[in-house]
Chains A and B, each alone.
Chain A
Amino acid sequence: AQSVTQLDSQVPVFEEAPVELRCNYSSSVSVYLFWYVQYPNQGLQLLLKYLSGSTLVESINGFEAEFNKSQTSFHLRKPSVHISDTAEYFCAVIPIYSGAGSYQLTFGKGTKLSVIP
């Protein structure tokens, strides 16, 4: 079984300031890692993912996340946030193996990012 911990339930940050949203996971098997974002009144949408290769992955809107296997972390960062980044962010994992439970995403509880003008 897998578990995901997002330590910060709410993160307020001023516009143009940097932000880091933390995610740690626990799993007995190798996993793929994801960040999903939910803007107000919208469904969850994929922000970025780590499947293999370079441990640093980027989104089209300036977010990046780095997979750290030794620390079992996948923290999300942005050097300068915008008002439009205000949303709830969910970290999630799924087992790499194909088999029982391998189609189930395990989500963290989410972090609400509020960007202050």
Chain B
Amino acid sequence: GAGVSQTPSNKVTEKGKYVELRCDPISGHTALYWYRQSLGQGPEFLIYFQGTGAADDSGLPNDRFFAVRPEGSVSTLKIQRTERGDSAVYLCASSLMATSGRTGELFFGEGSRLTVL
């Protein structure tokens, strides 16, 4: 597609449930990033992939959060045993290379809004 695509755009779930959020980056982009934006806050880094591997997962808040990118394209962010505090907009971004991402050439999707009741 022309841009970064994220699905679902909205997800409402109950506390304790498992959730998957999908990101389809721009074709050919090797680097992929997940950020989380809570209400009234700026985006916060979660994880960054270079190809298939997670090059930096230091932003994942705890072991309930996990992300994969098995073929170096689509990525899935997985959240187990969701809590109300996980409610946020989850943003995905991609860049042609990791170096271009570091100089601002990041392309963001519109985000997946997660609400945990």
A-B contact pairs, 27 of them (CB 8 A): A4-B42, A6-B42, A32-B102, A32-B103, A34-B104, A36-B108, A42-B110, A43-B107, A43-B108, A43-B111, A44-B93, A44-B106, A45-B108, A46-B104, A46-B105, A49-B103, A51-B104, A100-B56, A100-B58, A103-B31, A103-B55, A103-B56, A103-B102, A105-B35, A105-B106, A107-B42, A109-B42
Q: Which residues of A contact B (CB under 8 A)?
A: 4, 6, 9, 32, 34, 36, 41-46, 49, 51, 90, 92, 94, 98, 100-110
Expressed in whole angstroms, the minimum distance between the Cβ of B22 and any Cβ of chain A is: 15
CA distance A38 to B45 in the complex (A): 17
Contact at A104–B59, with CB atoms within 8 Å? Answer: yes
A104-B56, A107-B42, A109-B41 as given contacts; A94 in contact with B102, CB under 8 Å: yes
Of the candidates B3, B42, B58, B104, the one whose C-beta lies within 8 Å of that of A108 is: B42
- Please pick, from A42, A43, A100, A105, the residue contacting B45 in the complex, using a CB distance under 8 A: A105
Contact B98 A103 (CB under 8 A): yes
A43 touching B48, Cβ below 8 Å: no
A44 to B107, CA, bound (A): 7
**Range class of the B interface residue count:** 20 to 34
